[in-house]
Amino acid sequence: MLQMPAESADVARLVAALALRRALSPLYIEQSLWALFASGSLYVDEPGQRWQGQWKLDAESLAQSALPGSVRDAIGERASRLSAETLRVLGAAAVSGKESDVEVLARALELDADRVLTALEQAGRTGFVVQEQGHSRLHVADGREGDIRYCFSHDRYRESILSRFDAN
């Protein structure tokens, strides 16, 4: 469970910073939280825990942080911190549409399936894809217990990855 900062002044600062931006869509709020977390303005009091525990807000850092101008900007900024290989795997997955398995991605990219899986795991740690059981867009049947399946967390992630390749 997510717990926001207990200090009401901290909550007010965070809400004010977000409210200065455009319409507060849930995806924009999520991307803004990722950006604040990456900048150190927002952190969790439990070392090693990304989203669980008591959230703390560094008011000085928040005042100096630039929130993303749009969801696309925020996703693009986060994508720029991914490895080149992870971006390449996500690009192939995004191009392939609704369904693509790791073996197909590996063959298309001329990579070992383990490297594709490693890239998808990195993308999962940063929120671009989620691991699921059942129906999915990306799946792996690599001898691990059950099928490991991944899908983009949101269509905007897929669209953002596609736009990175359209620009090149």
What pLDDT tens digit does each residue of the chain (168 aa) get? 344 544 556 666 666 666 665 556 778 777 877 787 777 887 777 766 555 667 777 777 777 777 777 778 888 888 888 999 999 999 999 998 766 677 788 889 999 888 998 999 899 888 888 876 554 445 555 544 445 667 888 888 898 898 887 655
CA distances from 8 to 11, 61, 129, 142 (A): 5, 17, 33, 48
pTM > 0.75: no
- What pLDDT was estimated at residue 135? 42
Is the Cβ–Cβ distance between 65 and 41 less than 8 Å?
yes
- Provide the pLDDT for residue 30: 78
